[in-house]
Amino acid sequence: MTGTTLNYLFTRRQKYEAIIRKILYKTQVYARMSPDDKANLISLLQEHMGVYVGMCGDGANDCGALKQADAGISLSEAEASIAASFTSKVQDISCVITLLKEGRCALATTFSAFKFIELYSMIQFFSTTLLYYKGSNLMDNQFLYIDIVVLFPLAIFQSYTGAYHVLTSDIPQDSLLNAPVMLSTLGQAAIQLLSLILLVDLGRADIGDALF
């Protein structure tokens, strides 16, 4: 499809909405497109196909499309790098695969960090509440040991998690407020709470009510 044809459809996109959707679904090659035509194409894909659009460009004539795209990748450090969200030192589209893998890794690590912080807070709340119920509490040295020896290394190593070497077809979750994330966090919290209660009962049985 040429830029002239695309521009004709773009100016009449409300009238030919069904036709535009079919054309966008089947068209694989676009040629002889002006900078505005490239930006209009991305806008049509976002509006009529409901997809996230990536764009690679290496010149000033790609700035509009790079800015319009959900993920713009500049293949040069010239004018295009100003409008693009990302700049690649690799001068070909193989950087798209790397960007997708690293993006998924960052998203997965962020979700894991959220669950890690939530579980740590819940576990500490449960353990402190049970100790208060028994008339006791953790000492300052114990809190310091938990934070420095147990939690700090886990947080450091978690941030160094690298991307998987193969880009899979699985679509990651894009929101924290969804069933898999919330059920995983709440399920782990319930397991920790039941484990603490079980340990308290076992300690009472072994040591006795007078000492526990």
Over the stretch 24-56, which tens digit does the pLDDT of each residue have? 999 999 999 999 999 999 999 998 888 999 999
Q: Across the 212 residues of the chain, what is the mean pLDDT of every consecutive 10-residue run?
A: 89 86 91 92 90 90 92 85 87 90 89 86 86 82 88 85 85 81 87 86 67 50
Model confidence over 177-202: pLDDT tens digits?
888 888 888 898 899 889 888 887 78
> pTM for this structure?
0.73
DSSP the chain: -BHHHHHHHHHTTTTSHHHHHHHHHH----BS--HHHHHHHHHHIIIII----EEEE-SGGGHHHHHHSSEEEESSSSTHHHH-SEE-SSSSTTHHHHHHHHHHHHHHHHHHHHHHHHHHHHHHHHHHHHHHHTT----HHHHHHIIIIIIHHHHHHHHTPPPPSS--SPPPP--SSSHHHHHHHHHHHHHHHHHHHHHHHHHHHHH-TTT-
